[in-house]
Amino acid sequence: MPDSRTPAITLDVVYLARLREAFGRGREGLTVASGATVGDVLAALRARGEPFAQELAPGRAVRVAVNHDIAPADRVLRDGDEVALLPPVTGG
Amino acid sequence: MAVRVTHDDFDAGREIAALRGGDTRVGAVASFIGTVRDVNESAVVSAMTLEHYPGMTEKALAQIVAQARERFDILDALVIHRVGELKPADQIVLVAVTSGHRGDAFDACRFIMDYLKTRAPFWKKEAIPSGARWVDARTSDDEAAARWNPKG
């Protein structure tokens, strides 16, 4: 059971639609510090450089879902969370 | 209240009849069908692929229907949304609502579609003569959804 003493947590990061094509992968495991937020994950991905930096730049309309619910940037993540990056939706 | 994500086409008449289910409290049935057009943003569309986020899609649709149930006096609601490869004239989505009266039926149907357009995790990719492109979200859809939450 993860707790605040766990030094790192592993997330299942999912990329949908045009983000999957831009990044060349549909999902990947990501290890971050315990206590990391959604905002921290986006920053970590941007720090990789292109294409992440451009696609996830502040101001780009990307929503994040944690375990299938839209979450704000300050949402604290837990070990095993599924974190999905969603471009603006176009269903209907 | 039912939501369904499927590759298969649907028979709207049959689905609506099932939704009504002989419930004699129903006085109004409102419905919407979205279909694939052959032109978008000045390009001829020969085919469309509907992608979704398995695991979240049905949950998001159910949440939208639950919100409709809270806001409007409706008896039952159905959302069917197709995914996969579609062609012009194909059906994409069915929203149907039953109520005692037409005001809530019409409003709930419109509300569900406006929220689906801006919140449900679907993405369209169009095949056009120059290749394939992801459809851009429309500001008019955001404006339509925002109208359900007027600021004081």
**Confidence (pLDDT) at A7:** 86
Q: Residue B28 in 3-state DSSP?
A: strand
- In a mutagenesis test of the B interface, which of A15, A19, A21, A90 is the best target, namely the one with the most B β-carbons within 10 Å? A90
Question: In chain B, which stretches have pLDDT less than 50?
Answer: none
Report the relative pairing of strands A8-15 and A82-86 from DSSP bridges: parallel
Structural domain includes residue A28: yes
Structural domain includes residue A1: no
Q: What's the number of CA atoms in the CB half-sphere (13 Å) around residue B81?
A: 28
Question: Chain B: nearest CA to A28, how far in angstroms?
Answer: 15
The pLDDT of A53-63, averaged and rounded, is 93
Structural domain includes residue A40: yes
> Tokens for B116?
């689906």
Contact B53 A61 (CB under 8 A): no
Contact between B60 and B54 under an 8 Å Cβ cutoff? The reply is no
Residues of A with Cβ-Cβ distance to B34 under 8 angstroms = 92
B83 and chain A in contact, CB less than 8 A:
no
A62 and chain B in contact, CB less than 8 A:
no
Mean per-residue pLDDT of chain A:
94
CA A85/CA A19 separation, integer angstroms: 8
The pLDDT of A8-26, averaged and rounded, is 97
Structural domain includes residue A92: no
Question: Chain B: nearest CA to A72, how far in angstroms?
Answer: 14
Structural domain includes residue A69: yes
Structural domain includes residue A23: yes
Phi, psi of A76 (to 5 degrees): -85, 135
Structural domain includes residue A43: yes
**Confidence (pLDDT) at B87:** 96
Phi-psi label, residue A79: left if phi above 0, alpha if psi -120 to 50, beta otherwise: beta
Q: Residue B148 in 3-state DSSP?
A: coil
B92 and chain A in contact, CB less than 8 A:
yes
Residue-number span of the structural domain to which A80 is assigned: 8-86
**Confidence (pLDDT) at B20:** 97
Compute the count of residue pairs across chains A and B with CB atoms less than 8 Å apart.
68
Residues of B with Cβ-Cβ distance to A70 under 8 angstroms = 119
Residue A2: pLDDT over 70: no
**Confidence (pLDDT) at A3:** 55
A89 and chain B in contact, CB less than 8 A:
yes
Query: Bridge-partner residues for A84, per DSSP?
Result: A14, A65
| H or E stretch at B115 | helix B102-119
> Closest partner residue to A91 among B117, B134, B136, by Cβ?
B117
Contact A88 B92 (CB under 8 A): no
User: What ipTM was assigned to the predicted interfaces of this complex?
Assistant: 0.91
**Confidence (pLDDT) at A40:** 97
**Confidence (pLDDT) at B145:** 92
User: Alpha carbon A16 to chain centroid distance?
Assistant: 11
- Render pLDDT for A29-50 as a digit per residue (tens, 0 to 9): 999 999 999 999 999 999 999 9
Give the closest residue to B31 by CA, choosing from B89, B74, B66: B74
Q: How many domains does chain A have?
A: 1
Structural domain includes residue A38: yes
A22 and chain B in contact, CB less than 8 A:
no
Domain holding A63: CATH number?
Answer: 3.10.20.30
B45 and chain A in contact, CB less than 8 A:
no
Question: Chain B: nearest CA to A70, how far in angstroms?
Answer: 9
CA B19/CA B42 separation, integer angstroms: 38
Contact between A8 and A32 under an 8 Å Cβ cutoff? The reply is yes
CA B48/CA B45 separation, integer angstroms: 7
Beta carbons within 8 Å of A59's beta carbon, 6+ residues apart: none
